[in-house]
Chain A
Amino acid sequence: MTDTPHIEEDAAVASSDAPVEAAGESAAAARLREHDVWVAGTEEPEWIANATDEGAQEMLPRDLDPALQVQRGVVVDDDYLEEETIVDDERQIINMGPQHPATHGVLRLHMELEGETIRRVKPIIGYLHTGMEKTAETLPYMAGGTNVTRMDYLSPLNNELCFSLVVEQLLDVDIPPRAQAIRVLMTELNRISSHLIWLATFGMDIGALSMMIYGFRERESVLDFFEKVTGLRMNHNYIRPGGVAADLPPGWEDDVEGIFDVVRAGLDDYQDLLNGNPIFLDRTQGVGVITPAEAQQYGATGPIARAAGVNFDLRKAFPYSGIENYEFDVPLGKHGDVFDRYLVRTEEIRQSIRIVEQVLETMPAGDYRTDDRKVTPPPRKRIDESMEALIHHFKLFTEGFKVPVGEAYQAVESPRGELGMYLVSNGSAKPWRLHVRTPSFATVQALPVMLTDLIVADVIATLASLDPVLGDVDR
C-alpha cells in the first residue's frame, strides 16, 4: 500500500482536528467523544459501545420543513387519499433489514407504514461497502479483474468484460475475433445463469419456493461449464485486457449444447407453472410500476427500463466485443410492472440462448488473446526458448503493463442494466482512478418511485423484480 504519497500538510491538518481535551479528560476519552477513527499504532482508545443507531441515516420526524422531509424520506405519492391531517398514532416506522431473508443481501429499508400501506420509504445502503475503488488503485491491470469481478457477483464475467474493454480503449491493441467470440459466449452464458438465479430468488420471494431449487439446479449446468473453462464456479478473472486467460477446452460444444437442452426444457416448465398461477399474477401485475421518464431520470436501465417500454439495449446501441455479428431481439414490455420485468427477463434468457447458438456455429479459429507481448504473457514453453519472452513474462507479472495517459468510459449491458467503468490512467501500471457505475445503485435509488399505493408484501415483490445485487450497489 505504498502508492499513496505522504503529504506533509495533511498531517498538519489531521493534528489540528485532534479533539480538544476537556479538563480532567484523557486523550482517549476525548477522541472517543469526537468519534474519531482509530489508526493502528496510536494509543488505544476506549471502544465505542455497541449501537446500531445511525443518526442521520434514520428517517427524520415529519414535522420538519416539508421540503427537507420529502428528501430525507421519500414521500410515496398517493392517488386517492387526500390527507390534510396526519394522525401520528396511525403511522409506524418499520425497519426492514439489513439482515433479512428477502432483501437480496444487506439492504436496509426504512418504511413509514399506515397499516400495511407504505407512506414513506428510505433505502439505506453501505452495509457491503468494500472499498473496491480504492483497492483498484493498488492492483495492476492484469489483477484488476479479480477485484472488479466481485462487485456484481452474480454476473462476474460482465464486470471483467467491462474492465477489459475500458482498458483496451486506452491501450493500442487489437483483440482477435476468437477472443471476442469467446467473450460473447461467456457473458451471454453468464446472463443466463444470472437470470436463473433471479428467477430462483424472485419465485422464492413471491412464494413459489420450489422455484429456488429449480433455478439453482439449472444454473449448476452453466457453472459446471464455467469451471471447466475458467477453473472457477464464480469470480473467475477469465476475461482480461488483451483477450481471455485461456482457450476453450476441447469438447466445449457438447457441454454448451447440454446447457441448452437443460435450460430450455426447464424454462418452458417454469413459465407454465408461473404464468398460469393466479396468486403469482395477482402479486405481480400492476405492482411496482415505473414510467419510462422516471426510469431515465434515475438512470434505471436494463430490464427495468425495457419492461417500461424504453427501447434501448447497449448491445444494440453501442455494440462491443463483436456482438453486432449475431442476430438477436430485445424484448420490451409495456406496463413497467413486476410481471413485465419477469417476462422480459425470461425472454432474455431465450435470446441469450439464441446468441450462444450462433457463437457455437460460427466460432472463429485463431488466437484467444492478442499477441502483443507487452500486454499478454507469452506461452510458458517459449520462456525456455527466448530471452525476450522471459523478459516480457517477468515484466508483466512483476510490474504489469502500462496504459497510456487518458480517461475513458465504457459501458456493457449487464443482466441488471448499464454497467459502466470510468478509468483515469496516469501512464503507470495501476489505475489512477477507477469508478464503476453500477446498475443496481440506480435501481435501488429508484425504488421509492415504484412503491405508490403499495403494501409491504408488494415491496418484497418489487424489490425482487429489480434484481439488486448489493455488491453492485455498495462496491
Chain B
Amino acid sequence: MAGETSNPNFLLTTMEKGVNWTRTRSMWPATFGLACCAIEMMATGAAHNDLSRFGMEVFRASPRQADLMIVAGRVSQKMAPVLRQVYDQMAEPKWVISMGACASTGGMFNNYALVQGVDEIVPVDVYVPGCPPGPQSLIHGILTLQSKIMDGEIKRSTGIV
C-alpha cells in the first residue's frame, strides 16, 4: 500500500474471520458438570489451570446465556431428556464438547443405566478422552474447538490459533 506510514494502525480482515475470532475468544460454558469430570472441569477453571485465559471463566448457569456445553460426566437414562432440553434452550451458535470417556462412549459402564455416548442425544463437536481428562487435556480440547471454529474445520492442531 503505497504512501502508508511504516506503522499501520489498522488491519484488514474478512467479516467471517472477525466474527469467528470474537466467538472463540469469549465462549461461555454452560454448567453441565455431572460427575467426576465436573471436578476436573472446575479444577481447570481454578487457579492452576486458568480457563479465563481463554475468556471462559464465566460459567453461566442459564443455558440462554451460554454458547458452549461441556458435557462433563456420565449421562444416565434419566438425565438424557434434561440434557436435551438444556441443549435446546441454548441459542445459536452453540457447540458441544463431550468431556471424558463416559460422555463420549459410555466409558467403562457398558450397562443399562447410561447413555452410551452423548452423541446419541446432541451433536458433538469435540470429544475429549480420559477418565477423567486432566485439565491439560480439556484445554487441548477447547483449543481444538477454537481452531475448528476459526478455520471451519479441524486441522492438525498446533495449539496456536
- A–B contact (CB under 8 angstroms): yes
Within 8 A of A (CB), among B46-83: 46-48, 59, 61, 73-74, 76-79, 81-82
Partner of A135, one of B36, B47, B82, B109: B109
Chain B residue contacts of A101, Cβ below 8 A: 31, 59, 61
Is A372 interfacial (CB 8 A cutoff)? no
Majority SS of interface residues in chain A?
Answer: loop
Is B122 interfacial (CB 8 A cutoff)? no
Nearest residue in A to B31 (C-beta to C-beta)? A101
Is B85 interfacial (CB 8 A cutoff)? yes
| Cross-chain contact A234 with B82 (CB below 8 angstroms) | no
Q: How far is the CA of A134 from the CA of B114 in the complex (A)?
A: 12
Nearest CB of A to B104, in Å: 15
Q: How far is the CA of A223 from the CA of B40 in the complex (A)?
A: 11
Chain A residue contacts of B73, Cβ below 8 A: 128
Among B43, B77, B84, B131, which residue has the most Cβ atoms of chain A within 10 A?
Answer: B43
Nearest CB of A to B128, in Å: 15
| Cross-chain contact A52 with B113 (CB below 8 angstroms) | no
| Cross-chain contact B81 with A50 (CB below 8 angstroms) | yes
Q: How far is the CA of A105 from the CA of B37 in the complex (A)?
A: 11
Q: How far is the CA of A100 from the CA of B43 in the complex (A)?
A: 18
Q: How far is the CA of A470 from the CA of B73 in the complex (A)?
A: 12
Nearest CB of B to A42, in Å: 16
Chain B residue contacts of A98, Cβ below 8 A: 79, 82
Nearest residue in A to B131 (C-beta to C-beta)? A235
Partner of A220, one of B36, B48, B82, B113: B48
Q: How far is the CA of A235 from the CA of B78 in the complex (A)?
A: 24
Is A192 interfacial (CB 8 A cutoff)? no
Chain B residue contacts of A284, Cβ below 8 A: none
| Cross-chain contact A234 with B76 (CB below 8 angstroms) | no
Is A412 interfacial (CB 8 A cutoff)? no
| Cross-chain contact B132 with A126 (CB below 8 angstroms) | no
Nearest residue in B to A37 (C-beta to C-beta)? B112
Contacts A50-B81, A474-B76 given; indicate if A128 touches B48 (C-beta within 8 A).
Answer: no
Is B15 interfacial (CB 8 A cutoff)? no
Is A213 interfacial (CB 8 A cutoff)? yes
Chain A residue contacts of B143, Cβ below 8 A: none
Q: How far is the CA of A49 from the CA of B77 in the complex (A)?
A: 14
Nearest CB of A to B50, in Å: 10
Within 8 A of A (CB), among B102-132: 108-114, 131-132
Chain A residue contacts of B81, Cβ below 8 A: 50-52
| Cross-chain contact A126 with B76 (CB below 8 angstroms) | yes
Partner of B114, one of A99, A130, A217, A234: A130
| Cross-chain contact B74 with A234 (CB below 8 angstroms) | no
| Cross-chain contact B42 with A130 (CB below 8 angstroms) | no
Among A106, A134, A470, A471, which residue has the most Cβ atoms of chain B within 10 A?
Answer: A106
| Cross-chain contact A50 with B85 (CB below 8 angstroms) | yes
Contacts A50-B84, A234-B132 given; indicate if A129 touches B76 (C-beta within 8 A).
Answer: yes
Chain A residue contacts of B40, Cβ below 8 A: 233-234
Is B38 interfacial (CB 8 A cutoff)? yes
Contacts A216-B43, A217-B46 given; indicate if A130 touches B36 (C-beta within 8 A).
Answer: no
Number of interface residues of B (CB under 8 A): 37
Chain A residue contacts of B113, Cβ below 8 A: 129-131, 134
Partner of B35, one of A50, A128, A134, A223: A128
Number of interface residues of A (CB under 8 A): 38
Nearest residue in B to A152 (C-beta to C-beta)? B36
Nearest residue in A to B63 (C-beta to C-beta)? A99
Partner of B43, one of A128, A146, A220: A220
| Cross-chain contact B43 with A127 (CB below 8 angstroms) | no
| Cross-chain contact A130 with B79 (CB below 8 angstroms) | no
Is B149 interfacial (CB 8 A cutoff)? no
| Cross-chain contact B112 with A131 (CB below 8 angstroms) | yes
| Cross-chain contact B47 with A217 (CB below 8 angstroms) | yes
| Cross-chain contact B114 with A131 (CB below 8 angstroms) | yes
Partner of B39, one of A51, A146, A153, A213: A153
Nearest residue in B to A52 (C-beta to C-beta)? B81
Q: How far is the CA of A197 from the CA of B33 in the complex (A)?
A: 15
Nearest CB of B to A469, in Å: 9
Nearest residue in A to B40 (C-beta to C-beta)? A234
Q: How far is the CA of A150 from the CA of B114 in the complex (A)?
A: 14
Partner of B108, one of A146, A216, A217: A146
Chain A residue contacts of B78, Cβ below 8 A: 126-127, 129
Is B32 interfacial (CB 8 A cutoff)? yes
Chain B residue contacts of A1, Cβ below 8 A: 110
Chain A residue contacts of B134, Cβ below 8 A: 233
Is B86 interfacial (CB 8 A cutoff)? yes
Chain B residue contacts of A233, Cβ below 8 A: 40, 132, 134
Which 8 A-B pairs have CB atoms at the shortest separation, nearest pair first? Answer: A131-B113, A216-B46, A153-B36, A101-B61, A131-B111, A127-B79, A217-B47, A220-B48
Contacts A/B (CB < 8 Å), 22 sampled: A50-B81, A127-B79, A128-B34, A129-B76, A129-B113, A130-B74, A131-B114, A150-B35, A150-B36, A197-B39, A213-B47, A216-B42, A216-B43, A217-B46, A217-B47, A219-B43, A220-B43, A220-B46, A223-B43, A234-B39, A235-B36, A470-B35
Binding site for A on B (CB under 8 A): 31-36, 38-40, 42-43, 46-48, 59, 61, 73-74, 76-79, 81-82, 84-86, 108-114, 131-132, 134
